Structure 1
Amino acid sequence: MSKSQARAPSLDRPFDVERRYVRMKALREDGFVEFDFSIGDPRICVELVMREPDYRAFCDIHDAVRLSALEAAALDAEELKWRYGQPGLAE
């Protein structure tokens, strides 16, 4: 399968309380990282902000899975589906 044919990864992974996920949202000019942190399911997260060195240490301590751009896009589409009834709708 070529890259253009690649699908977004499935979000239907089994819930695993031992697995941690991070999704970097932004690296700010002031050196802080905005990110989402999840335990067990990347669809259920909290938003956090830390200095970049602290963020890296946090990810290492929790052995966090860093979500790819494709996984992040799949999460965004899922959120839109729940918010607006169909994926991709903005209003």
Structure 2
Amino acid sequence: MHLVKNDTPRSSVGGLTKYIRVRSEPDARFVEFDFAIGDPALFVELVMPKGAFDAFCAANQVVHMSAEQIQAVDAEMAKWRYGEDTLMAHNHDQDHGSD
């Protein structure tokens, strides 16, 4: 299986790139991943056995999300979870600074 590691579209749905972000460990029995079409921030969370995941990626000719895309998605998720100018947002930021 050959996956593209950059933003070059290999397949499309109406000209849109298909993205994945693997969240599970490499040796996990099941692969947990995010799948997006067109916009990496609009994704569904999926879980598949390794063989099914490999077939899914090959059939969809997916592109791995870039580090920048992952960072943007995580920042947007944190904003929705904790708010921007709220006590929880400030507490959350402090928690990460003490690690």
> Do both proteins adopt the same fold according to a TM-score greater than 0.5, normalized to the shorter chain?
yes
User: Equivalent residues in 2 for 1:57-68 (5 A)?
Assistant: 57-68=55-66
Partner of 1:23: 21
Partner of 1:12: none
> Once the 2 structures are TM-superposed, how far is the Cα of residue 72 of structure 1 from its aligned partner?
1.7
- The equivalent position to 1:81 in structure 2, one of 68, 79, 82, is 79
> Do the aligned residues in 2 keep the contact of 1:17 with 1:39 (CA within 8 Å)?
no
Matched residue of 2:23: which SS? strand
User: Equivalent residues in 2 for 1:26-45 (5 A)?
Assistant: 26-27=24-25, 31-45=29-43
Which deviates more from structure 2 when the two are superposed, residues 73-82 or residues 55-64?
73-82
Q: Which has the higher helix share?
A: 2
Q: Which has the higher strand share?
A: 1
The structure number with the bigger radius of gyration is: 2
Q: Which runs of 5+ in 2 are unaligned?
A: 1-13, 94-99
TM superposition score normalised by structure 2: 0.61
Distance in 1 between residues matched to 2:20 and 2:60, nearest whole Å: 10
Whichever residue aligns with residue 52 of structure 1, its letter is K
Q: Which runs of 4+ in 1 moved over 6 A?
A: none
Distance in 2 between residues matched to 1:63 and 1:21, nearest whole Å: 9
Partner of 1:51: 49
Distance in 2 between residues matched to 1:75 and 1:30, nearest whole Å: 23
Distance in 2 between residues matched to 1:35 and 1:57, nearest whole Å: 14
Evaluate the alpha carbon distance shift between residue 17 and residue 44 of structure 1 in structure 2; reply closer, same or farther with a 3 A threshold. farther
